């Protein structure tokens, strides 16, 4: 399952937003990827997320596979919106 988001924070996905996202998905067993600019990284890796250098206004896709993938995508959606990191596309 996957979902796309437009990043709306002025700084893009720098250290603080990346930490928030990685922390929110770490408790889940499902594998999760962040896709941006035709490159995919493990969303459970803060270095991987930061290496993407996702700027403000970019559209990213989060995909998850596993037994708790649906709950994981729901949590990511909640965190991105409630923390003001982005909006659903």
Q: Whole-angstrom Cα distance, residue 36 to residue 38? A: 5
Is residue 11 a contact partner of residue 68, using CB atoms and an 8 Å limit?
no
Is residue 86 a contact partner of residue 7, using CB atoms and an 8 Å limit?
yes
Q: Of residues 6, 14, 46, 81, which has the active-site annotation?
A: 14
Active site residue 73: no
Give DSSP secondary structure letters for 39-78.
EEEETT-HHHHHHT-PPTT-EEEEEEESTTHHHHHHHHHH
The residues carrying an active-site annotation are 14
């Amino acid at each position: 399952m996957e979902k796309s988001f437009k990043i709306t924070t002025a700084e893009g996905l720098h250290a603080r937003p990346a930490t928030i996202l990685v922390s929110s998905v770490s408790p889940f067993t499902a594998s999760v990827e962040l896709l941006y600019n035709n490159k995919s990284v493990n969303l459970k890796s803060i270095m991987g997320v930061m290496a993407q250098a996702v700027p403000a206004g970019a559209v990213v896709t989060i995909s998850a596979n596993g037994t708790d993938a649906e709950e994981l995508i729901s949590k990511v959606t909640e965190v991105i919106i409630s923390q003001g990191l982005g909006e659903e596309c």
